[in-house]
């Protein structure tokens, strides 16, 4: 049996689909399972023991190349990718994305049963039109991870176990420890990781508060504090560290997704707004102190027990807006609020 899972992005969304992958593998132990994913999150899938084949789309890179320079090589690569997508006829194609970008590729793929949620889910962008079997829509107020499992339940695939099994191996753990050593992080002190950057401007907390929080963690907990982020986050994190009294390590741009997961395994806890690394920490079992403003933690919060959510509880939150003149929902969160939640870790 050939099965194709379609969940292309983003990092957190792909992480939320890993339990569904494991449930499918348990139900169909001998199936050949392929996963269609975009480049940014592909490391989470490529080494996963439940996946037989990974189809990696360079959609964003192809579009950028064509728009910026008219690069025909990008067009050629996209055409070749479509050929690869269509080289197999799948018995079961599952749309866990529910967006136009996934719907179009499902429409182009070869398969007998193309299954996903039907009309009625938010932000679907008409993706259901590319399906030939439509599962009745479920409420968006369910957590994103559980919505994926509910899709499986409707197909008769048991989904009572939540298993991530991130493909983190000894080589990633060794790389994480080497990275910490290069930055002078002392092994016998408590390690705390802070991931301060998110793609939405409305999810960001004040840099000054991150600086003050890091200093308090050093002073009151005797912690080693490291900041994580992408290569483009390096300068912003340097600004945060430069405003501190104490010392912290800037690891932005120095980790792969799997090395970052291994690093979070070493941490006592992780502080983060609603972003992919927050879900990465939760998936490896590390407690998360999550700062939420425009989004809903019951929909996209760190999954599992032992985490702490901080919200200002304003009437306008969650608004799911990427832009806001005031950003009061994040500004109302104080350093003391975060420290209080840190004290409560493990009690949730």
**What sign does the dihedral 259-21-46-13 (CA atoms) show?**
negative
Percent of the residues in the chain that have a pLDDT greater than 90, as a whole number? 91
Residue the block writes with tokens 């009151």: 220
Same fold, 2-154 and 171-343: yes
Query: Which pLDDT score is estimated for 348?
Result: 43
Q: What is the β-pairing status of strands 288-291 and 269-273?
A: parallel
Residues in the chain, total: 348
On the question of a cis peptide bond just before residue 24, with omega within 30 degrees of 0, the verdict is no
Residue that has been written with the tokens 């018995």 in this structure: 91
pLDDT digits (tens, 9 = 90+) for 29-38: 999 999 999 9
CATH 3.40.50.2000 fits domain 171-343 = yes
Residue at token pair 């049996």: 1
- Tell me what pLDDT residue 48 has: 97
The CATH number that domain 2-154 falls under is: 3.40.50.2000
At residue 69, the pLDDT reads: 80
Taking 60 as the threshold, does the pLDDT of residue 347 lie above it? Answer: no
* Residue 3: its H or E element: strand 2-6
pLDDT at 286 over 90: yes
| pLDDT score at 122 | 83
With bands split at pLDDT 50, 70 and 90, how would you rate the model's confidence at 346? low
**pLDDT average, residue stretch 295-304:** 97
Name the DSSP letter for residue 199. S
Q: What pLDDT, in 10s, does the model give residues 236-277?
A: 999 999 999 999 999 999 999 999 999 999 999 999 999 999
Report domain extents, the chain. 2-154, 171-343
CB 92 within 8 Å of CB 113: yes
Helical (H) or strand (E) element with 165: none
The separation between CA 280 and the C-alpha centre of its own chain, rounded to angstroms, equals: 6
Mean pLDDT of the chain: 95
């Amino acid at each position: 049996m050939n099965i194709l899972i379609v969940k292309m992005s983003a990092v957190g969304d792909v992480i939320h689909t890993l339990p569904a992958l494991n449930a499918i593998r348990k139900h169909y132990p001998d199936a050949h399972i392929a996963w269609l994913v975009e480049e940014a999150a592909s490391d989470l899938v490529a080494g996963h023991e439940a996946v037989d084949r990974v189809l990696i789309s360079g959609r964003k890179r192809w579009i950028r190349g064509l728009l910026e320079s008219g690069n025909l090589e990008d067009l050629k690569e996209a055409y070749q990718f479509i050929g690869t997508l269509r080289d197999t006829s799948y018995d079961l194609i599952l749309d866990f994305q529910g967006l136009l970008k996934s719907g179009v590729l499902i429409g182009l793929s070869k398969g007998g049963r193309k299954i996903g949620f039907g009309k009625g889910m938010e932000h679907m962008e008409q993706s259901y039109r590319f399906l030939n079997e439509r599962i009745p829509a479920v409420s968006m107020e369910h957590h994103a991870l559980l919505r994926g499992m509910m899709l499986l339940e409707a197909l008769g695939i048991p989904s009572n176990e939540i298993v991530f099994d991130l493909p983190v191996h000894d080589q990633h753990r060794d790389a994480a420890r080497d990275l910490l050593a290069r930055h002078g992080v002392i092994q016998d002190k408590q390690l705390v990781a802070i991931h301060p950057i998110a793609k939405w401007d409305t999810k960001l907390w004040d840099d000054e508060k991150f600086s003050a929080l890091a200093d308090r963690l050093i002073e009151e907990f005797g912690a080693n504090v490291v900041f994580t982020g992408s290569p483009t986050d390096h300068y912003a994190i340097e600004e945060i560290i430069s405003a501190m009294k104490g010392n912290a390590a800037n690891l932005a741009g120095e980790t792969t997704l799997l090395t970052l997961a291994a690093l979070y395994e070493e941490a006592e806890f992780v502080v983060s707004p609603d972003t992919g690394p927050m879900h990465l920490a939760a998936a490896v079992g590390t407690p998360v102190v999550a700062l939420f403003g425009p989004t809903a933690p019951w929909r996209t919060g760190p999954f599992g027990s032992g985490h702490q959510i901080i919200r200002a509880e304003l009437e306008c939150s969650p608004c799911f807006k990427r832009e806001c003149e005031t950003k009061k929902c994040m500004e109302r969160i104080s350093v003391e609020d975060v420290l209080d939640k840190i004290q409560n870790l493990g009690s949730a």
